[in-house]
Chain A
Amino acid sequence: MSTLLSFRDVWVEYGDRIIIEKLNLEIEEGSFVSVVGPSGAGKSSFLRLILGQEGPSQGTILMDGTPLKPECGPDRGVVFQRYSVFPHLTALRNTILGMECEKAPVFGRLFGSARRAAEEEAREMLTAVGLGHSLDLYPAQMSGGMQQRLAIAQALVKRPRILLLDEPFGALDPGIRADMHKLIRSLWRERALTIVMVTHDIREAFTLGTRVLALDKRRHDPHAPHRFGATVVYDLPMRERPEEESDESEIITIDVNSNN
């Protein structure tokens, strides 16, 4: 597998506070990386770096060998814990927004056959995440799990090089979370995605990821705790698990417990 993202001696500092120090890391294409760590260990900063929401104070981040611009772009998709979908658009409109932005720079809307094509693609994607019957629902009419499914579909329509998940299942209850785990795992496998997921849930990190990164501070100065930043303290490759039976992937898109 080729390297998709590489961090070269990356530091993140806010004033005299050091958040991330001396981070050297390579992320391979097609991997599912889980990121865990205590609160304040720079997990969110790490994600924001990849997302381009902020740039490193020192060092470089390369994506496919070229430096990453500190601005969000369509090559990196994201699903946040909340507010990932637009409340004023139906599921279908939410999903075609990405295509509309690309193809209609002035009006931000597609019409006629271009629109029908986009809707067709969006419909397929929504069916793949199990929202085939909820195309015309607004997010407020959906459960938390459905909203996260929509957010995933919305991101995947753009075919991002890397999909970032920021505690995507943290606000869901356990049954739905298990469904979502199956969904994301099968999407990752079938579509050969590269995923970086930040999570608080250690179990989730180990069951989903092919690699688990633990971020924490290596050194600690009790008199000036902010002067040392976090870095990768554990980098654990997961053994390749046998995937579930293929008929299981059918269930993923169907709501077995009808609680979602």
Chain B
Amino acid sequence: MRWVNRQVGRGGRVLLGAVPILLLLLIYIVMAANRHAMNPADKILPLPGAMAQSMSALLFVPDQLTGQLVFWADTLASLQRLGIGLGISTLMALTVGLALGALPPVRATFGPLVTGIAVIPPIALLPILFIALGLGETAKVALIVVGIAPVMIRDIAAHVGALPREQIIKALTLGANSWQVMIRVALPQAMPRLLHAIRLALGPAWVFLISAEAIASDVGLGYRIFLVRRYLSMDVILPYVAWIALLAILMDLALTFLSRRLFPWAHGESH
């Protein structure tokens, strides 16, 4: 049988998907054990035991200085920045994207501006943000917004602009005005796309979050990683990276689930 025709069942998919991950873990453990056999004090490839030990200190023992559980404080701070950034960007994408996509005069006026902002590398704006907004939370959230909002806006605007002309005409013949076309025809059809845009923006959003935290912060997942880098604490960095990956995967799954649940009409005929 040709490979393009080989369908993999549900159980098979889980099994096949797990193979490379487990293989990588195995390779890591073998290499770590090798290094530790040569040098028991090796810091570059820590063994799982060492990781668990240093992580349990961060997870369960309050910090002497602040009295907080470091790991959870970091997670909360980062998720809060990410959430606010994503929230603002989503709102902007929805309102600005909808107006740009549905109303030609608005597109003619602001389209070039949005495109211009979208092509600036956001990290290049980080100094401006720090100078203008200070080193606090605002600048970090602003970096996320500047980084992902223009792309999301353009995505939504393009999606709304690509709605079949027939649909808009039909709505007009049903007596709809511009506002009603926007909220009854364009907006609902932009919603599944919006959730998709958030999913795609999650990756860049994390990049900007970690960058901002690495440069100026006193709490946060990115801050911690860059802080302990000074002590070559791979036993903290690796679990933190794994935790970030897990959070990102969970958000992605949640958004997919939400989209299927809320907008069944957008996901094929099998609702």
Interface residues of A (CB under 8 A from B): 51, 53, 71-74, 76-78, 80, 82-89, 97-98, 100-102, 105-109, 138-141, 151, 154-155, 158, 160
Q: Are A141 and B269 in contact (CB under 8 A)?
A: yes
Q: In whole angstroms, how far apart are the Cα atoms of A84 and B164 in the complex?
A: 9
Q: Which residues of A contact B269 (CB under 8 A)?
A: 140-141
A138's nearest neighbour on chain B, judged by CB, is: B265
B261 located at the interface, meaning its Cβ lies under 8 Å from any Cβ of chain A in the complex: no
- Shortest C-beta distance, B141 to chain A (Å), equals 32
Q: Are B169 and A158 in contact (CB under 8 A)?
A: no
Q: Which residues of A contact B184 (CB under 8 A)?
A: 97, 100-101, 108-109
Q: Which residues of B contact A107 (CB under 8 A)?
A: 183
B176's nearest neighbour on chain A, judged by CB, is: A101
Query: When the two chains form the complex, which single residue of A85, A88, A101, A106 contacts B175, counting CB atoms closer than 8 Å?
Result: A101
Q: Are B169 and A51 in contact (CB under 8 A)?
A: yes
Query: When the two chains form the complex, which single residue of B174, B265, B266, B271 contacts A97, counting CB atoms closer than 8 Å?
Result: B174
Interface centre among A105, A108, A158 (most CB of B within 10 A): A108
With A72-B173, A78-B173, A101-B174: A86-B271 Cβ-Cβ less than 8 Å: no
Which residues 212-271 in B have Cβ within 8 Å of A in the complex? 263-266, 268-269, 271
Q: Which residues of B contact A84 (CB under 8 A)?
A: 166-167, 170
Q: Are B167 and A83 in contact (CB under 8 A)?
A: yes
**Selected A-B contacts with CB under 8 Å, 17 pairs:** A53-B169, A72-B169, A73-B175, A80-B170, A82-B164, A83-B166, A83-B170, A86-B189, A88-B188, A88-B263, A97-B174, A97-B184, A98-B174, A108-B179, A108-B180, A108-B184, A154-B174
Q: In whole angstroms, how far apart are the Cα atoms of A72 and B172 in the complex?
A: 6
B264's nearest neighbour on chain A, judged by CB, is: A138
Q: In whole angstroms, how far apart are the Cα atoms of A85 and B188 in the complex?
A: 14
Q: In whole angstroms, how far apart are the Cα atoms of A160 and B174 in the complex?
A: 9
Q: Which residues of A contact B265 (CB under 8 A)?
A: 87-88, 138-140
B59 located at the interface, meaning its Cβ lies under 8 Å from any Cβ of chain A in the complex: no
Determine chain B's interface SS by DSSP, over half rule.
Answer: helix
- Shortest C-beta distance, B38 to chain A (Å), equals 62
Q: Which residues of B contact A106 (CB under 8 A)?
A: 179
- Shortest C-beta distance, A141 to chain B (Å), equals 6
Q: Are A86 and B167 in contact (CB under 8 A)?
A: yes
Interface centre among B167, B169, B189 (most CB of A within 10 A): B169
Q: Which residues of B contact A160 (CB under 8 A)?
A: 173
B185 located at the interface, meaning its Cβ lies under 8 Å from any Cβ of chain A in the complex: yes
Interface centre among A82, A97, A107, A160 (most CB of B within 10 A): A97
Which residues 169-216 in B have Cβ within 8 Å of A in the complex? 169-177, 179-180, 183-185, 188-189
Q: Are A101 and B180 in contact (CB under 8 A)?
A: yes
Q: Which residues of B contact A71 (CB under 8 A)?
A: 172
A84's nearest neighbour on chain B, judged by CB, is: B170
Q: Which residues of A contact B271 (CB under 8 A)?
A: 138, 141
Q: Are B177 and A105 in contact (CB under 8 A)?
A: yes
Q: Which residues of A contact B264 (CB under 8 A)?
A: 138
Q: Which residues of B contact A87 (CB under 8 A)?
A: 189, 265-266
Q: Which residues of B contact A98 (CB under 8 A)?
A: 174-175
Q: Which residues of A contact B174 (CB under 8 A)?
A: 74, 97-98, 101, 154-155, 158
Q: In whole angstroms, how far apart are the Cα atoms of A83 and B166 in the complex?
A: 6
Sample of 18 more A-B contacts, CB < 8 Å, known A78-B173, A88-B189: A51-B169, A72-B169, A74-B173, A77-B173, A80-B166, A82-B164, A84-B167, A87-B266, A89-B188, A97-B171, A101-B174, A105-B180, A108-B180, A138-B264, A138-B265, A139-B265, A155-B173, A155-B174
Q: Are A83 and B164 in contact (CB under 8 A)?
A: yes
Q: In whole angstroms, how far apart are the Cα atoms of A248 and B271 in the complex?
A: 35
- Shortest C-beta distance, A161 to chain B (Å), equals 11
Q: Are A102 and B175 in contact (CB under 8 A)?
A: yes
Query: When the two chains form the complex, which single residue of A51, A83, A86, A140 contacts B173, counting CB atoms closer than 8 Å?
Result: A51
Q: Which residues of A contact B266 (CB under 8 A)?
A: 87-88
Q: In whole angstroms, how far apart are the Cα atoms of A155 and B264 in the complex?
A: 25
Q: In whole angstroms, how far apart are the Cα atoms of A61 and B167 in the complex?
A: 25
Q: Are B189 and A78 in contact (CB under 8 A)?
A: no
B192's nearest neighbour on chain A, judged by CB, is: A88
Q: Which residues of A contact B175 (CB under 8 A)?
A: 73-74, 98, 101-102, 158
> What does the 1/0 interface line of B52-82 toward A look like (CB < 8 Å)?
0000000000000000000000000000000
- Shortest C-beta distance, B109 to chain A (Å), equals 21
Pairs of residues from A and B, 3 with the lowest C-beta to C-beta distance, nearest first: A74-B175, A98-B174, A72-B172
B191's nearest neighbour on chain A, judged by CB, is: A88
Q: In whole angstroms, how far apart are the Cα atoms of A73 and B167 in the complex?
A: 14
Q: Which residues of A contact B263 (CB under 8 A)?
A: 88
Q: Which residues of A contact B176 (CB under 8 A)?
A: 97, 101, 108
With A80-B166, A101-B180, A138-B265: A86-B185 Cβ-Cβ less than 8 Å: yes
